[in-house]
């Protein structure tokens, strides 16, 4: 058996992608992970496509310099808008993203009516609808941009009156005609999963694109003979482009533990 112990590069606009790392650590405990969070420029979700593409390419370029064997785009906004450009720019490194993982998990469950929630940029791109309909045009899809959920999660208000009111504000239309699936098309949203479930009927299946992405990465490595040897525990290294005061508290929320082995870097070309 051949092993590949090079690290996996994971990036997000900020710390939301740590929800992907948290699941990857459970599924792939022997893999070495390098994470980049572009905390200086988060959020990407309200930026223009041109800037989202530029940021995605700069994030990938940084990880490529670390000799990664696979890039995992743990940001739905970049996955929805910039993944084709990233693949063209870096043809020698495989690139997978939360969007394709979320779409695959959605299709596997064969829903009839799916509500997709995400940032403004993700929803405006209509990428989820396009990708789901490319395989199954029969699925009824409703997309809702929910820009307030990211700051709510970042402020630690995921389980509070403010989040309940905001969930009602955005998801009320789903009460009239309840979907059989809610697709969380943003890596910040897993922290609101319980609140979504209690607002909607228990029968609504919630697909978390972050969890789906970690599973997708595990399958990709296995199918492409890229798995690391199981002889040692994987290492992790975190890079961020800014460290505001709230940094540690937020990282703990998304990762479920304290962040160790981190460093601040500069990646922007201008
Ligand atoms: N993590 C981003 C995503 O999954 C949301 C935060 C942002 O707007 O950058 O789309």
Instruction: CATH number for 100-210: choose from 3.40.50.300, 3.30.70.20, 3.40.50.1860, 2.60.40.1890.
Output: 3.40.50.1860
Could you read off the pLDDT of 98-150 as tens digits, one per residue? 999 999 999 999 999 999 999 999 999 999 999 999 999 999 999 999 999 99
| DSSP string of 215-226, one letter each residue | HHHHHHHHHTT-
Tokens 């009824």 correspond to 140
Q: Is the CB of 150 under 6 A from ligand 1?
A: yes
Q: Is the CB of 12 under 6 A from ligand 1?
A: yes
> What mean pLDDT, rounded, does the chain reach?
94
CATH topology of domain 8-97+212-264: Rossmann fold (3.40.50)
Tokens 């994030």 correspond to 59
Tell how far the Cα of 3 is from the centroid of ligand 1, in angstroms: 33
> What is the pLDDT, as a whole number, of residue 268?
76
Residue nearest to atom 6 of ligand 1 (CA): 43
> How far is 10 from 60, CA to CA, in rounded Å?
9
Q: Whole-prediction pTM value?
A: 0.94
Catalytic residues: 75, 186
Q: Which residues contact 144 (CB under 8 A, 6 or more apart)?
A: 115, 116, 117, 123, 170, 171, 173, 174
> What is the pLDDT, as a whole number, of residue 2?
84
Contact predicate 183/106, CB 8 Å: yes
pLDDT at 267 over 80: yes
**pLDDT tier at 269 (50, 70, 90 boundaries)?**
low
pLDDT at 13 over 60: yes
* Of 36-40, 98-102, 156-160, the least confident: 156-160
Segment 88-104 shows an average pLDDT of 97
Segment 77-95 shows an average pLDDT of 97
Q: Is the CB of 111 under 6 A from ligand 1?
A: no
Domain with CATH 3.40.50.1860 in the chain: 8-97+212-264, 100-210
Tell how far the Cα of 167 is from the centroid of ligand 1, in angstroms: 17
């Amino acid at each position: 058996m051949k092993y590949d112990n090079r690290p996996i590069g994971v990036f997000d606009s900020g710390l939301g992608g740590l929800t992907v790392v948290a699941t990857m650590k459970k599924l792939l405990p022997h893999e070495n992970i390098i994470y980049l969070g572009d905390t200086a420029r988060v959020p990407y979700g309200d930026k223009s496509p041109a800037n989202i593409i530029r940021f995605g390419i700069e994030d990938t370029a940084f990880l490529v310099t670390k000799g990664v064997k696979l890039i995992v785009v743990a940001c739905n906004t970049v996955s929805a808008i910039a993944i084709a450009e990233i693949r063209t720019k870096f043809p020698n490194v495989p690139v997978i993203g939360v969007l394709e993982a979320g779409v695959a998990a959605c299709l596997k469950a064969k829903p009839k009516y799916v509500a997709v929630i995400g940032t403004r940029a993700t929803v405006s791109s209509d990428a989820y609808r396009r990708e789901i309909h490319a395989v199954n045009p029969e699925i009824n899809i409703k997309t809702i941009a929910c820009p307030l959920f990211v700051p709510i999660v970042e402020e630690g208000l995921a389980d509070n009156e403010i989040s309940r009111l905001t969930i009602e504000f955005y998801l009320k239309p789903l009460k009239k005609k309840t979907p059989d699936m809610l697709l969380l098309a943003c890596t910040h949203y897993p922290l609101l999963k319980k609140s979504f479930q209690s607002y909607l009927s228990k029968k609504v299946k919630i697909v978390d694109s972050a969890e789906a992405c970690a599973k997708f990465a595990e399958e990709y490595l296995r199918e492409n003979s890229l798995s690391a040897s199981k002889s040692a525990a994987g290492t992790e290294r975190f890079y961020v482009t800014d460290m505001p005061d709230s940094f540690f508290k937020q990282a703990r929320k998304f990762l479920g533990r304290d962040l160790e082995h981190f460093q601040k870097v500069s990646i922007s070309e201008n």
